[in-house]
Structure 1
C-alpha cells in the first residue's frame, strides 16, 4: 500500500500503520478459511477467527494436535483439504512450511505469520500471498484477544494476484485481534530481517554484556545469586522496559531517582568507542545475504546436531539446576509480576 491516512515519512522511509477502521468486514463473507498447524500460533488464530465469526478448519499432521483441535470443536482436514480453502493461514515453523506441499488455488490467499519462508525459504504458493505477523507469542495472541486489548502486528502483501490481497489480509489481521493496537506495514523480507536481527544481532550482544557484567560483579565479591536477582528475578529491569513501552524513554526517566538519571545519562558516552555497530553489521550481512538461511537449511537437513551442541554449551543442565535451586530458595512468588 505505502500511502494513506496511516502513513508517515521519516528519514525518507514511509511508514504505514493500519487500524481496524480500514477493514471491510464483508470481504471474507462466504469464504472458507483453513488454519495449518495447531501449535502456539495456530490454536490461537483458529480460536480467534472462530470468535470473530468465521468457521476455520484445521490442518494438522500430528495425531495429538488433531485430537485437541477436534475436541475444541474444529473440523480437521489434510493438506489437500487445506489447499482448497479460500484463505490458507500457514502457522507452522518456518523451515517446515516449504515441505508441506500446499497448493492453494490461483484466487486463494495464503497468509504466513512470519516473513522468513517467503524471504529466505523459497515458499512460492499460487494466488495472493501475504503476511500477518503478531509481535506476540502464540498464547498471548489468544489471551490479548479474549481480554479485548489486542496486540501490535506487522502486515504485508508479497503477491497481489487478485487485487483483493490487501483487503482480505487486513480482514484476517482484524479478525485475530492484530489491528486493535495497529499493524505496521512491512514487506515479508523486512519483517524477516528485523526478526532475525533481534535474535542474532541484539540478543547475543545483550547476552555478552550481561555476561561481562556478571563477571565484574563477581570480581567485586558480590554473590552470583544477588547478581541474578538484580538482572532477572527481581523483575526490576523488566519493569523498566515496561515503562519504556508504556511511556517512552523521556517520560520514564522521571520514575528513576536523580542519582540513577545522572548515572545513566552521564556514563552513556563511555561506551561510544566500542565497535558494536561494525560487529552487528557483520552478523546482519549473514542475514540479508541469505548465508544464515543456507546454513540453517543444512542444519535442518542434518537433524539439528549443531543446535543440540550449542544448547548443551550455552544452556546446559548445570545452569538450569542452579536457577531452579535459586528460585526455590527465593520463594513461591518469585515469578510473579511486581
Structure 2
C-alpha cells in the first residue's frame, strides 16, 4: 500500500475554503483546532440548537451556527455527528441548502457505505479517517506529529475530490506521518469489526473476566486491578512502539512462556469462529440495522450496557487507585 505525506498535498486547497465542522465532540473539536492551526481561517462549528458543546466552541474562538446555516455558508462540510444521526441531518438540514459543487467529508464510512446518506450527485464526497481518538489526534499534532489516517473518495463531482482528501487529511497532521488510501467500505467494515471483536468489545470483557477470576479466588481487588488492567496500558504502549514480536523482547521469559501456555486457551477456534460471525453481521448490514433500531428507541440497549459497566466492582477499585496518583 502506498503511503502519502505532506509533499503530496496542496495545503492551500483547504486554506482557501470555507469549512464547517458538524459536531464538537471527540473528533469535532480536535479536527477543528488542528485545521485552524494548519492555516484554515474561514471555519465555523455547526451544532444543534441548545447543544451543550456551543459554549466550548465559542470559548475556543469559533462562531457557531446551525447545520442548515452552515450548509448555505460552507464549501466543505465535515460530518462528525454520531453515525446514527447523520441521515436525518443530511436529509433535512444539509441537502436542501448545500452549494452546488460543495464537499462532504466523513471521518467514518458507515453512513455512506450502508446507504444511510445518499449524497446529491453534484457533491464531492470524501473520507478522512484518523486512526485513533480525537484526544490523540490533537496531542500528536501539538507535539509536531500526527496520527496515521485513511482517506477515500466516494464521489468526485468536481474532479478535485482526491486532491481535497489529501489536503484535508494533511491539515489534520496526518501528512506528517502518513496517509493511506482505502475505500468507504473497507474502512467502515474493518472499523466496525474491530470495535466489536477486539478493542471495545473483547478487551474490556477480558479485563472484567480476569479481574473477577482473581477476586473470586481470594485475591485482593487492588492486586487484581493492577494485574488485569493497569499492566494492559503498559503492554499496549510496547506493542504500539515495537510490534507484538518486538514487545516479546522486552518482557521476561516467564511472561513470554505464560503467553505461550495461555494464549491459545483463551483465543480458541470457537473464538475465531465467532469473530467471523461478527464480520458477517457487519458486512450484511445487520449490525447497522440493530444500531439504528436502538437509537430510534432511545438507546435502551446502550443505556443498559453503560449502567452495567459503571456498576462493575472494578470501577470502584480503579477510582481508589487512580486517586493515589494525585
The answer to whether the superposition gives a TM-score over 0.5 is yes
Q: Where does 1:178-257 land on structure 2 (aligned, <5 Å)?
A: 178-202=174-198, 203-218=200-215, 220-233=217-230, 236-257=231-252
Indicate the residue corresponding to 2:10 in structure 1: 24
Is 1:57 equivalent to 2:51 in the alignment?
no
After superposing the two structures, state which structure 1 stretch, 167-176 or 96-105, moved more.
96-105
Q: Helix, strand or coil: the match of 1:222?
A: coil
1:112-142 deviations in Å (ceiling 9; x for gaps): 1111221235112231101111122223322
| Contact preservation (8 Å) 1:128, 1:160 | yes
Counterparts of 1:152 and 1:262, CA distance in 2: 33
Change (3 A) 1:28 1:205: closer
1:215-260 deviations in Å (ceiling 9; x for gaps): 4434543223211111123xx3322221111122222222122333
Counterparts of 1:224 and 1:252, CA distance in 2: 27
Indicate the residue corresponding to 2:155 in structure 1: 159
* Aligned-pair CA distance for 1:145: 1.5
Indicate the residue corresponding to 1:10 in structure 2: none
Indicate the residue corresponding to 1:11 in structure 2: none
**Residue of structure 1 aligned with 2:165, choices 154, 166, 169:** 169
Counterparts of 1:169 and 1:219, CA distance in 2: 52
Change (3 A) 1:245 1:29: closer
Q: Helix, strand or coil: the match of 1:96?
A: helix
Change (3 A) 1:217 1:144: same
Across the two proteins, how many residue pairs are aligned to each other?
A: 315
**Residue of structure 1 aligned with 2:78, choices 73, 86, 89:** 89
**Residue of structure 1 aligned with 2:307, choices 308, 312, 323:** 312
Higher RCO (CA-CA < 8 Å; seq separation 6+): 2
| Contact preservation (8 Å) 1:106, 1:128 | no
Change (3 A) 1:72 1:315: closer
After superposing the two structures, state which structure 1 stretch, 164-173 or 53-62, moved more.
53-62
Counterparts of 1:19 and 1:260, CA distance in 2: 39
Indicate the residue corresponding to 1:115 in structure 2: 109
Change (3 A) 1:30 1:322: closer
Cα RMSD between the aligned structures? Answer: 2.4
Q: Helix, strand or coil: the match of 2:222?
A: helix
Q: Helix, strand or coil: the match of 1:142?
A: helix
Counterparts of 1:301 and 1:259, CA distance in 2: 50
Unaligned runs of 5+ in 2: none
Counterparts of 1:190 and 1:183, CA distance in 2: 15
Q: Which has the higher helix share?
A: 2
* Aligned-pair CA distance for 1:148: 1.0
**Residue of structure 1 aligned with 2:253, choices 238, 254, 258:** 258
Indicate the residue corresponding to 1:66 in structure 2: 54
Normalised to the residue count of structure 2, the TM-score between the two structures is: 0.87
Counterparts of 2:207 and 2:312, CA distance in 1: 20
| Contact preservation (8 Å) 2:21, 2:78 | yes
| Contact preservation (8 Å) 1:95, 1:121 | no
Q: Where does 1:316-331 land on structure 2 (aligned, <5 Å)?
A: 316=311, 319-328=314-323, 331=324
Counterparts of 1:317 and 1:259, CA distance in 2: 31
Unaligned runs of 5+ in 1: 1-14, 334-338
Change (3 A) 1:176 1:272: closer
Normalised to the residue count of structure 1, the TM-score between the two structures is: 0.84
**Residue of structure 2 aligned with 1:148, choices 144, 147, 167:** 144
